[in-house]
Every structure is written in structure tokens, then in C-alpha cells.
Amino acid sequence: MFFAKRQRTLIFRVNGYLLSLIAMFDLLFKHISKRVTLSSSELEFLTTVFIPKKIRKKQYLLQEGEICKWMTFVSKGCLRSYTLDAEGKEHIVQFAIEDWWIADMYSYLTGEPSEYIIDALEDSELLMLDIKGKETVLENIPAFEKFLRMLLESNHIASHRRLHTMMTKTAEEKYLNFIHSYPQIMQRVPQHMVASYLGISPETLSRVRKQILATK
Amino acid sequence: MFFAKRQRTLIFRVNGYLLSLIAMFDLLFKHISKRVTLSSSELEFLTTVFIPKKIRKKQYLLQEGEICKWMTFVSKGCLRSYTLDAEGKEHIVQFAIEDWWIADMYSYLTGEPSEYIIDALEDSELLMLDIKGKETVLENIPAFEKFLRMLLESNHIASHRRLHTMMTKTAEEKYLNFIHSYPQIMQRVPQHMVASYLGISPETLSRVRKQILATK
DNA sequence: AAATGGCATTGACATATGTCAATGCTCTTT
DNA sequence: AAAGAGCATTGACATATGTCAATGCCATTT
């Protein structure tokens, strides 16, 4: 009786795990298929190279001074990357939610220690690709080169746009721009982190929001 | 006599033109070879796809509202891309000197009209690649996909770094950072354009420089 | 139910940077 | 040689945003 119960539990666990794995890879496949078409054997190959990982809220994925070993695809949850300045203040560089990637590409590509920190803002599910894995995929799946190139092109455009708003817009415009571009993220992360991402103080963001509410 | 003279001149011109063409492509070849190895027939193929162009100081390469049809490799000279804001003030997004690329990738990839302007700050020599050409190259030279991916990776890193300094540094730090990273450009372009690139006013840059000279 | 920690808000005040206007320099054009 | 354009510098002043400190709210933990 005891045994049977244990076994059932185990099977449930294994089933649950497999189901969640399937869902994770399913999102990755859809993500890639938006840009290039892979054969089913190629997709299957990906499952042997990406490392699935679950991570709890507040856990680190990368700590300052470590080498960033992974390009990480977020299949569930929310992470951020940030730096600490001389005064120990956080500056958030990026949020990543489902269907996005996060990494310190500088550290990843050069092998230099990272100045960034990546941690989880929610319990999250990740698919991680190390340099070796990336090379294997590039060797075995020609279209993946194209996929990466196109991903980087999108990224390039987004970076330029962000830089431009950072340089030329007021705090209010930055905020309006943010809630327009990323309404989901605004809901999910604390306001002071959005402020940090926008490069303004939490107090200023609070005042900007008050101001906006007043005028409409 | 008259004829003979004309002919000699013509030959000189043609020779000069060919020599300059060779130099232009030579730089492009070296640029590409830093990242991937191409066969000589592949290199030769590139000369049939890239369009050489000379452009005089102050000429436009892209005007606001036009579609950006070209990815442009600068083999000589200096260009900039910038926007005009609501008050008509210039915001410089990028400088490009020899061995760099310039384009509005958003417009180039989507075919939407550009919000950017690209013009020459010096007489310049360019090698230009339109979308059709890019596709042809990608079809005929597999390694070019890898080259583009790696170029975009470098770009990605540089954008992140720039964004970070824009967000977290003072005017003085931005300036010091700039002259450290791009001493050549500082020499070649007017100071107020550097200010614009750094997102600060020309007056502030002037004061920052004075301040730096005083303290050392 | 009480205690705690994280967070947003608000007010008073400080400051870096922008704006405007004047001056003078240097180089090119006439 | 004169004129003009483009540019860097400087001073006076304006302002957006940051900093510091206090308050109160809400959710989670004990």
C-alpha cells in the first residue's frame, strides 16, 4: 500500500515534469518558427542541447564577477539584468518575460567576467544554451544561423529605439512610451524597478504618474 | 595632339578610379576577413553586388521620410545619422568612419519610411548593399550569414554599453568615455556634434572640457 | 491580531544641466 | 583686405530631475 502510493506520486511527478518540459520547448519552437522553418528532427535536436531550468523568485541566474555561460530563453516568468554603480545603486538594463532572451552577451561571447547581475522577479522556467551548445546547434542546424542573425537584427532595432528615447525624451515621455510598449511588464514588476529601467528616480516616476492622472 | 592628351587624361582617370575601387574593396575584404574566411571567388562575387559610391561633404545619403535602401560600408570619410525633434533640434545617433557600417536598420528591414537623416561630414567613399544584394550574398556565400550574425553581436554589445553610459553617467563621464573610445572621431567632427551624440548641450560640453583641463 | 518589510507617495530642498544671449575666434569666400 | 559663416566659449538665469526624510499603505509572516 505504501509502495503503491509512493509510486503513483512518483509517476505524477514525472508526468508533471514532462508536461512542463513539453510546454517550455513548445514555446521555444514557436519562437524560432516565427523567423525560420526547422524540420521536426532539427527541433528534436534542440531539446538535447538546451538545458531546462526552473528558478525561484529572487534567485540569481548570474552574479557580478561571474562569467555569463548562458543565453537564456524565458519560457515562463520574469527576470531582469542590472548593474550596481559605485554607490551601490541598481540600474536595470533589461527585463525578460516569456518569449524573450536574457544574457550578458559581452561576457558570454568574450568569456570576461560580467559586470551585470541577472535574477528572477518571479518563479520562472528557462531554457539555457551555453557556448558549446550554441556552436553545436550552429553546426547541425544551418537555419539557426539565420535565426540568430534575425533575432539580433530585431534587437538592434529595439536598442536603437530605446537609446533614442533615453537621450531625447523627458521622464514623462519615457514612462508613457514604456507603458505603451510593455503594458504587461508594467503590471508585473514593482514601480521603482520600472523607474530604474527608465533611468529616472522612483520619486520622479511617482510624480509623473500623478501628473498624468491629473491632466486626463 | 589634342586627342592624344585627352586620351592620356582619360586613361589616368580610369586608372585612378580603378585604383580607388580596389582600395575600397580591399578594406571591405579585410573587414570581413576579421570574422570569417571567404574564398577568392566569393570575394570577387562581392564586388558585383556592392555598389561603390563617392559622396561629398554635406551631401545626404538618406533624407527624412525616405526608405533606407542601403546598408552602407564606409571605406573612407565620415558620416553621421541623426533625427530632428519637434523643435527642429538635431540628435546624432551614430558616427561612421572607415571600416564601419551605417544605415537605418529599421527602415532597411521593414521598408517603412525612415525618421533618420544620414549625411556626410567629410568627402567619403562608400560601398552600398541593398536588400536584394544582401539576399543574393546570403544565398551565394553561406559564411556571410555568419559574418552578419557576428557583426550584429558586436553591435549588440556596443549598443548595450552605450545605453548604460547614457543612463548612468554624468556629462563629464560620458565625454571622458567618448574620447577614450573614439579619439579619432573627436578630432574629426565639430564639438557640438559630439555633444549631440552624447545627449548633452554644446555649452555643457564646453564647460566640462574646461573643468577637465583645470583639474589636471 | 500583531509585527514586519517592501513599496508608493509627498514635501522641502539641492543640483546638474539646459537655455538664451553676447563675444570673439578662425577659416573660407568674395 | 573685407565680409561672413560656423563654431567654441562664457555669464546669467531657468528648470527638470535627483536626494533626503517622513508617512502611510498593503501584504505576508509570525
Contact yes or no for A91 and B167 at CB 8 A: yes
pLDDT of A3 higher than 70: no
Query: What parts of chain B have a pLDDT lower than 70?
Result: 1-16, 216
pLDDT of residue B92: 97
| Residue B185 maps to a domain | no
pLDDT of residue A67: 98
| B207 nearest nt, CA–C1' | D9
User: Could you tell me the CATH number of the domain that includes residue B32?
Assistant: 2.60.120.10
Owning domain of residue B49: 2-140
pLDDT of residue A88: 85
B71 and B134 Cβ atoms separated by less than 8 Å: yes
Asked if the Cβ of residue B200 lies within 7 A of any atom of strand C, the reply is yes
CA atoms of B162 and A105, how far apart (whole Å): 14
| Residue B163 maps to a domain | no
Q: pLDDT digit string (tens) for A107-164?
A: 999 999 999 999 999 999 999 999 999 999 999 999 999 999 999 999 999 999 999 9
| Residue B179 maps to a domain | no
Q: pLDDT digit string (tens) for A119-131?
A: 999 999 999 999 9
pLDDT-derived band at A5, boundaries 50, 70, 90: low
When the pLDDT of each residue in chain A is averaged and rounded to a whole number, the result is: 93
Q: What is the DSSP string of B12-51?
A: HHHHHHHHHHHHHHHHHHHHHHTT----HHHHHHHHHHSE
The shortest C-alpha distance from B81 to chain A (Å) reads 12
**Interface of chain B against chain A, CB under 8 Å?**
83, 85, 91, 93, 105-106, 109, 138, 142, 145-146, 148-149, 152-153, 155-157, 159-164, 166-168, 199
Residue of A nearest to B197 (CA): A167
Lowest mean pLDDT among A3-17, A127-141, A188-202: A3-17
Using CB atoms within 10 A of its CB, is residue B69 exposed (0-12), middle (13-18) or buried (19+)?
A: middle
Q: Helix or strand or coil: residue A33?
A: helix
Listed as ranges, the nucleotides of chain D within 7 A of a protein C-beta are 6-12, 16-21
| Residue B10 maps to a domain | yes
| Residue A94 maps to a domain | yes
Report which of residues A11 and B52 the model is more confident about: B52
Query: Which of the 8 DSSP states describes residue A87?
Result: T
pLDDT of residue A216: 61
| Residue A61 maps to a domain | yes
pLDDT of residue B65: 96
Query: What's the whole-number mean pLDDT along residues A19-24?
Result: 87
Listed as ranges, the nucleotides of chain C within 7 A of a protein C-beta are 6-12, 16-21
A86 and A118 Cβ atoms separated by less than 8 Å: no
Asked if the Cβ of residue A200 lies within 7 A of any atom of strand C, the reply is no
| Residue A208 maps to a domain | no
Q: pLDDT digit string (tens) for B109-148?
A: 999 999 999 999 999 999 999 999 999 999 999 999 999 9
**Counts for chain A of helices (H) and strands (E), in that order:** 9, 8
Residue A66 (CA) to nucleotide C8 (C1'), in angstroms, measures 34
Report which of residues A92 and A21 the model is more confident about: A92
pLDDT of residue B18: 80
pLDDT of residue B20: 83
Contact yes or no for A153 and B153 at CB 8 A: no
| Residue A214 maps to a domain | no
pLDDT of residue A87: 85
pLDDT of A81 higher than 90: yes
pLDDT of A1 higher than 80: no
Q: pLDDT digit string (tens) for A44-63?
A: 999 999 999 999 999 999 99
Among protein residues, the one whose C-alpha sits closest to the C1' atom of D8 is B206
pLDDT of residue A41: 96
pLDDT of residue B40: 96
Domain total of chain B: 1
Asked if the Cβ of residue A203 lies within 7 A of any atom of strand C, the reply is yes
Q: What is the DSSP string of B49-117?
A: HSEEEEE-TT-EEE-TTSB--EEEEEEESEEEEEEE-TT--EEEEEEEETTEEE--HHHHHH-PBPS-E
Of A85, A145, A156, the CB nearest to B156: A156
Which of A105, A147, A154, A160 would you mutate first to test chain B, the one with the most B CBs within 10 A?
A160
pLDDT of residue B5: 57
CA atoms of A155 and A51, how far apart (whole Å): 23
